[in-house]
C-alpha cells in the first residue's frame, strides 16, 4: 500500500463519521458537526501578525474547548483552507506532534498541538512518521471539506436535464 492509498482510506473513514449529507453546507454547519465528534466547543480566531505564528494554522486543545487560530494577514482563501486543515486534525482524532509549541508560535507557549504541512508522496506508508501521515490526512480532509463547502447539492430532476 502507498501513502496515497492509506490517506484516502483514512480520510474517507473520517468523513463518513461526520455524515455531512445532513448538515447545512456552510462553515458553521461543518464546525458544529466537528464539535459533536470532538465533544467540546471550537472557537476559530485570527491571530494578529505581531503574535508571530510560523505555522499557517494552529489547533490548541484545551481541556474544555478547542481553539483554531489562523494568520490574519494571509489571503482569505488560504485562511479558510488553514482552518479546514486544523478541523481535519480534530475530526480525525489526532493529538500532538513533536514540534514544541514555542518553536511554532512565539507567545502561545501553552499550545499542546501544533502542526506543520508536509508534502505528498507515493512511498510506502511505513516510510514516513505518524506525524507526517497525520498531516497528509488533515490536508486531504481539508480538500474534501472545501469540495463539500463549494459544491451544491444535486437534484435528480436537474441532473436529468443538465
CA dist., res. 116 & res. 97, Å (int):
9
**Quick one: pLDDT at residue 145?**
94
The pLDDT confidence band at residue 105, using thresholds 50, 70 and 90, is very low
The pLDDT confidence band at residue 110, using thresholds 50, 70 and 90, is very low
Query: If we measure between CA atoms, which residue out of 153, 148, 150 comes closest to residue 91?
Result: 148
Reading across the β-sheet that carries 66-71, which strands appear in turn? 42-47, 66-71, 57-61
Q: pLDDT by residue (tens digit) across 15-47?
A: 998 888 888 889 999 999 999 999 999 999 998
C-alpha cell at 73: 494577514
Strand, coil or helix: what is 47? strand
**Quick one: pLDDT at residue 34?**
95
The pLDDT confidence band at residue 55, using thresholds 50, 70 and 90, is confident
Q: Which range among 18-22, 58-62, 77-81, 123-127 has the greatest average pLDDT?
A: 77-81
Strand, coil or helix: what is 144? helix
For residue 142, give Cα distances in angstroms to 5, 106, 113, 146. 17, 26, 17, 6
CA dist., res. 88 & res. 148, Å (int):
13
With 50 as the cut, is the pLDDT of residue 103 above it? no
pTM higher than the cut 0.95: no
CA dist., res. 153 & res. 4, Å (int):
27
Compute how many other C-beta atoms are within 10 angstroms of the C-beta atom of residue 15. 18
The pLDDT confidence band at residue 50, using thresholds 50, 70 and 90, is confident
Q: Which range among 41-50, 86-95, 113-122, 123-132 has the greatest average pLDDT?
A: 86-95
**Quick one: pLDDT at residue 151?**
84
**Quick one: pLDDT at residue 90?**
94
For residue 74, give Cα distances in angstroms to 49, 56, 153. 9, 8, 30
**Quick one: pLDDT at residue 127?**
65
With 50 as the cut, is the pLDDT of residue 106 above it? no
Query: If we measure between CA atoms, which residue out of 86, 27, 25, 34 comes closest to residue 60?
Result: 86
The pLDDT confidence band at residue 79, using thresholds 50, 70 and 90, is very high
Amino acid at each position: 500500500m502507498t501513502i496515497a492509498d492509506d490517506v484516502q482510506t483514512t480520510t474517507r473513514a473520517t468523513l463518513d463519521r461526520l455524515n455531512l449529507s445532513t448538515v447545512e453546507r456552510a462553515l458553521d454547519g461543518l464546525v458544529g458537526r466537528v464539535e459533536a465528534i470532538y465533544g467540546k466547543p471550537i472557537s476559530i480566531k485570527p491571530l494578529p501578525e505581531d503574535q508571530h505564528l510560523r505555522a499557517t494554522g494552529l489547533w490548541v486543545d484545551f481541556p474544555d474547548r478547542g481553539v483554531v487560530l489562523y494568520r490574519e494577514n494571509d489571503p482569505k482563501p488560504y485562511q479558510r483552507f488553514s482552518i479546514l486543515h486544523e478541523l481535519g486534525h480534530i475530526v480525525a482524532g489526532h493529538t500532538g506532534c513533536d514540534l514544541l509549541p514555542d518553536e511554532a508560535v512565539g507567545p502561545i507557549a501553552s499550545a499542546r498541538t501544533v502542526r506543520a504541512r508536509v508534502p505528498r508522496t507515493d512511498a510506502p506508508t511505513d516510510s514516513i512518521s505518524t506525524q507526517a501521515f497525520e498531516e497528509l490526512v488533515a490536508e486531504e480532509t481539508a480538500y474534501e471539506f472545501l469540495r463539500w463547502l463549494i459544491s451544491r447539492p444535486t437534484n435528480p430532476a436537474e441532473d436529468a436535464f443538465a
